Amino acid sequence: MSPSRRTFLRAGVVATGVFAAGPLRALEALAAEPSEGGAEPFEALAAGNAGYGPLKAAGAHLDLPEGFWYVRFGAAGDKMSNGRPTPSFHDGMAAFAGPGGTIRLVRNHEVDGRKGAFAGRAYDGSAGGGTTNLVFDPKAARLVASHPSLVGTVRNCAGGATPWGSWITCEETTVGLDHGYRMPHGYCFEVPAGAVGPVKALPLKAMGRFIHEAVCVDPGTGIVYETEDRAAAGFYRFLPKTPRVLAAGGRLQMLAVKGWWKADLRRSQHPGAWLPVSWVDIPDPDHHNAGHNPSEVFEHGLWRGGATFGRLEGCFWHPNGPWSGAWVVSTDGGDAGLGQVWWYDPVNSRIKLVYESRSAVALRHPDNVTVSPRGAVLLCEDGEGSRDRLKGLSHGTLFDFARNRGSNGEFAGATWSPDGKWLFVNIQRPAATYAITGPWARGPL
């Protein structure tokens, strides 16, 4: 997501205690034909609030259900532990268990342009993006430390956590030397959750140079799945030579639909229908022309029969239960251009359109997707300046969980603490991080 674009949906799905068939069927039910009264089931359900009740002002920045509260911290310009100001445009983020009960956060900064690095040890001293690592004390409900961790990258949009305790941050651009930068951009970088200062910035070139958005990792195989935020986008997977050692290289592939050469999945799709898939190799994932043509990698996959999606943004790997696999979001796919939610089943090598929005009242432009530790789904909207919502999904019902009331900045980086007691989320403008907690047991999240 660029700073001016829609933000984020971390969708998964909700069940009681386990991630069972319910969530997937719930989304399919919401995508059913319109009811006799003419209103879509999704739209009718969205008008109510069956999750935690109606939203009300919980402070100057967020509307939340009764009993929930938040703390705001790590805002742009706030001094980090080294005395330097916190960079802006907070975006993707993940939470990890820290020592002494603390929570470590790794947070992206989607800074574009040649603004200069915000700390030393930069990959590119002319670039102002990167990541910061934060330490949050849940007992005191406050930030206790903040450090630069990856410096000198461009437009760090989303990414994904790894099972081995790191964050993969993704550049949503392919600018480079010909654009006035000192280094080529358009790569993924790995950041340890425990970093307390700038790490050596190593571009993971075998994972491709394209308009990256998010990644998710299959903990069983170590395969990394990648999304691309373009009007014509591919869904990719990276097969590392050595599991957990992404810098050792590997093979990049793009999803294709069996029996459908160059399938276009942006429009005229049918929720609930399975599509068998294969994967085609990308022979040169770091193509020399990618700086001039951001679609270079995509086009190489398309020439081999790969499938086209519309603006793939969020992806999240849910590791448990019969629906273990990758949840993938197209933020403007579908006949109404309001968004699609796909699910990739790695066991049977197939993909399904789970839900397609037909009404902005129900859901508008989902971006990233996440699943709570309790197995529930959280969908995040990026509605281009309107009062975006965090949407929950439970037992066939969509409900509002939060609304941005303080600005037109997008939601981004929603992530749960390992114990499920805190939900962390960013608002990009004015940039700050929020920690939300409350009576979770009262509802499905």
How far apart, in Å, are the Cα atoms of 231 and each of 63, 136, 203, 298, 312?
A: 32, 37, 25, 11, 8
Torsion, CA 432, CA 435, CA 440, CA 445, rounded to 10 = 50
User: pLDDT at residue 176 above 80?
Assistant: yes
- The mean pLDDT of 411-434, rounded to a whole number, is 95
Tokens of 222: 């170590």
Q: Where are the alpha helices (DSSP H) in 262-355?
A: 296-303
Q: Measured between alpha carbons, how far is residue 222 from residues 218, 219, 242, 345 in Å?
A: 5, 5, 9, 15
Alpha-carbon distance 434 to 162, whole Å?
Answer: 22
pLDDT band at 441 (very low <50, low <70, confident <90, very high): very high
Where does the pLDDT of residue 51 fall: very low under 50, low under 70, confident under 90, or very high at 90 and above? confident
Task: Look at residue 24 in the predicted model and tell me its pLDDT.
Answer: 53
Q: Which amino acid is at 169?
A: T
Give the rounded distance of the alpha carbon of 202 from its chain centre.
22
Give the pLDDT mean for 416-440.
Answer: 96
Q: Which amino acid is at 193?
A: A
Instruction: Look at the domain 21-442 and name its fold.
Output: Neuraminidase (2.120.10)
Q: Which residues contact 285 (CB under 8 A, 6 or more apart)?
A: 205, 206, 207, 208, 209, 252, 297
Whole-number Cα distances in Å, 375 to 11, 88, 194, 216: 11, 32, 26, 17
Beta strands in 218-302 (DSSP E): 224-228, 235-240, 250-257, 274-281
pTM of the model: 0.90
**What does the pLDDT look like over 316-344, one tens digit per residue?**
998 877 778 998 999 999 999 999 989 99
Compute the average pLDDT of residues 286-294. Answer: 97
Instruction: Report whether pLDDT(11) > 70.
Output: no
Task: Report domain extents, the chain.
Answer: 21-442
Is the per-residue pLDDT at 159 higher than 60?
yes
Mean pLDDT of 160-176: 98
